[in-house]
A and B are shown apart, each in its own frame.
Chain A
């Protein structure tokens, strides 16, 4: 048996950590930071960069701290002149294989390589630069691959292949010619890429960045002919603050509204409102299937465009299980250009709808199918990520920290706690169950039962059995696409065997942690950060009077005045989509 805790010393300081802890992690216990460019907390060590070398005992060898577990009695030395010199030489080598265009790079001032070069005080090019020329790949319109900036750390490849099980990115060739490339060496848009952007969230440099559309938005805002409106996704409000020095998880809804108004948006909506609407439709779908046998079980959520894309390519036999309800972004978009336009007497053609999303795939969702033009126009004109919004605010000269809060516009701005928690893994499930329970039983969950704890948290797959008036509803929640296959195979096996489905309702979000961990969120993601952002959402929910989507007064008005019934004809036309199987490899 291995001892449960390991005692050793790091730079002479005693340290006690659980067995199996890497030296890199153990060093943090004694406040020692060992530099690394490849190790990411979410990922297994690739041992690529060679910067985290340490000395063990008196051995002349220098093992990597990221990939070496601390062992009993080890005497670790993390910093001495020799280690620093080897690290500096390695860093210079990496820099010699990287372009020197920091000023115009998407990661300027926010780049792990740049930071390290600064910390090491590198003041000149010590080696001739060798960078293989290659045009960036902007084919997806969501994510740009700037191949020349890749330092081959392997994070994106591991994220794409292992964490997300997408296999759009890979390493091709070898040696000095090694390059990150889409699967089969084609354009990213033709690869199995689902635009989740987790690669960009994990990239230490500017090699993978979101397709920045702030200029497009500026142009729209300056256009007097356009009536610019904006919507803010649930998870943006608890993450944007990180770009302005707030602790992760700080809910800045009011400040964001205010900033939007200052930027010149004529109407400020909240995607949370549309989340409530999505729940109305989805819960109705669920009840129809669960209680009235109309349609396949389990019902599977579909508000994540990456997940939808993935399902259409990899698990198209689950199309009948998919909720046909559009995502909140698209629902809000279509309502802005129909319901809102009608109420306000604005020509929908003049409405320019911007969405602020935690997500790179939302850019792709805008034109995903013709149903995204249900209003007769492009329902949402442009989607910005949280990172782009931060830039937009900074460019505009707004003193964000001292900005007094404002409120959203009514009719598409009021939301419930259920809509707010959409941004977290398990949140859609929880929100849907709250409304489905009401729909089946005719009453709300008791106050102490509103929080559905088993579907919360960062475990990759969560499942629970929820009692709905004596009937058991089995639900499962997966986040991080790498966790999905196991769940779906379980369902498929039962289906093929003619057994009852193991679950009635499944929620899937492509990104670990859900949208709060989206590919367009501020950099530096880790489970700790994800938890803090999630906490921000659930705290907000708990503090709200309104915690059920079906009780959102604006939602009621919307159905009464415009849509009719959930799943009704009009709702169907505007708020629902169809799916089709797509080839994994377009080329």
Chain B
């Protein structure tokens, strides 16, 4: 069992409750809405908080069992908060062939974490993703929604440094 205990329903932040109700309002009459509402939750929070799942289960009657079955089946959904900055290494075939593995290995050793993990200070989350469709720029990465292409392992140090510097200077851009 991996999950943390949940507070009783009545102790959950009413703002979250309101938020879930707004998704419900938008989606309740539409078929095939569960995954769409989970997307909405993740879009807002960066992950799907356990409390949100519970509220959704209570509001829709969809059992928690089903919600967690879905959340853990699909790669896209996260159950824990992601790092502040997201470093995604494309592992499509083109990038793989052109050295995505070397980029990943370099990042892993520099950040001291493995694929799919977040640094202890929760600053940087590292993951490999399926083809991002920039095969012409292989090997490619997406760092905080910005796509970078034709990268070398030697570029990685500067990239991490850049994130840390921006963080220190308080400039998210």
B63 proximity list for chain A (CB < 8 A): 161, 167, 183, 192
Chain A residue with the shortest CB-CB distance to B67: A184
Tell whether B6 is near chain A: CB-to-CB under 8 Å: yes
Distance in Å: Cβ of A310 to nearest Cβ of chain B: 13
Known contacts A174-B73, A585-B54; is A184 also within 8 Å of B65 by CB?
A: yes
By the criterion CB–CB under 8 Å, are A170 and B68 in contact? Answer: yes
By the criterion CB–CB under 8 Å, are A587 and B5 in contact? Answer: yes
By the criterion CB–CB under 8 Å, are B68 and A185 in contact? Answer: yes
Tell whether A545 is near chain B: CB-to-CB under 8 Å: no
By the criterion CB–CB under 8 Å, are A168 and B3 in contact? Answer: no
Distance in Å: Cβ of B61 to nearest Cβ of chain A: 10
Distance in Å: Cβ of A583 to nearest Cβ of chain B: 7
Known contacts A173-B72, A185-B1; is A583 also within 8 Å of B8 by CB?
A: yes
What is the CA–CA distance of A571 and B121 in the complex, to the nearest angstrom?
64
Tell whether B80 is near chain A: CB-to-CB under 8 Å: no
By the criterion CB–CB under 8 Å, are A585 and B1 in contact? Answer: no
Contact of A185 among B3, B8, B9, B57 (CB under 8 A): B3
Tell whether A510 is near chain B: CB-to-CB under 8 Å: no
By the criterion CB–CB under 8 Å, are B9 and A583 in contact? Answer: yes
B91 proximity list for chain A (CB < 8 A): none
Known contacts A173-B72, A585-B57; is A183 also within 8 Å of B65 by CB?
A: yes
What is the CA–CA distance of A196 and B127 in the complex, to the nearest angstrom?
42
B173 proximity list for chain A (CB < 8 A): none
A192 proximity list for chain B (CB < 8 A): 63-65
Within A164-202, the residues touching B (CB, 8 Å) are 167-174, 181-187, 191-192
**Proximity string of chain B (1-14) to chain A, C-beta cutoff 8 Å, 1 when within and 0 when not:** 11101101100000
Known contacts A183-B64, A585-B64, A587-B6; is A171 also within 8 Å of B69 by CB?
A: yes
What is the CA–CA distance of A140 and B80 in the complex, to the nearest angstrom?
27
Interface size on A, residues (CB 8 A): 23
Tell whether A565 is near chain B: CB-to-CB under 8 Å: no
A585 proximity list for chain B (CB < 8 A): 6, 54, 57, 64
Tell whether B118 is near chain A: CB-to-CB under 8 Å: no
Distance in Å: Cβ of B81 to nearest Cβ of chain A: 17
Tell whether A242 is near chain B: CB-to-CB under 8 Å: no
B1, B8, B64, B69: which has the most chain A beta carbons within 10 Å? B1
Contact of A184 among B3, B8, B9 (CB under 8 A): B3
Contact of B73 among A167, A173, A181, A185 (CB under 8 A): A173
By the criterion CB–CB under 8 Å, are B5 and A167 in contact? Answer: no
Contact of A137 among B1, B2, B3, B72 (CB under 8 A): B1
B2 proximity list for chain A (CB < 8 A): 185
Contact of B66 among A137, A167, A186 (CB under 8 A): A167
Chain A residue with the shortest CB-CB distance to B7: A587
What is the CA–CA distance of A446 and B50 in the complex, to the nearest angstrom?
60
A160 proximity list for chain B (CB < 8 A): 65
Distance in Å: Cβ of B58 to nearest Cβ of chain A: 8
By the criterion CB–CB under 8 Å, are A172 and B3 in contact? Answer: no
By the criterion CB–CB under 8 Å, are A167 and B72 in contact? Answer: no
Chain A residue with the shortest CB-CB distance to B53: A184
By the criterion CB–CB under 8 Å, are A184 and B73 in contact? Answer: no
**Proximity string of chain B (145-166) to chain A, C-beta cutoff 8 Å, 1 when within and 0 when not:** 0000000000000000000000
Contact surface of B with A, Cβ cutoff 8 Å: 1-3, 5-6, 8-9, 50, 53-54, 57, 63-69, 72-73
Task: List 6 additional contacts besides A167-B63, A184-B53; criterion CB under 8 Å.
Answer: A168-B65, A183-B63, A184-B64, A184-B67, A185-B3, A187-B1
- Would you list 16 pairs from A and B whose C-beta atoms are within 8 A, ordered by A residue? A137-B1, A161-B66, A167-B66, A170-B69, A171-B69, A173-B72, A182-B1, A183-B65, A184-B3, A184-B64, A184-B65, A184-B68, A191-B65, A192-B64, A585-B57, A587-B5
What are the 9 A-B residue pairs with the smallest beta carbon separation, nearest first? Answer: A183-B65, A167-B63, A170-B65, A184-B64, A167-B65, A185-B3, A172-B72, A183-B64, A587-B5
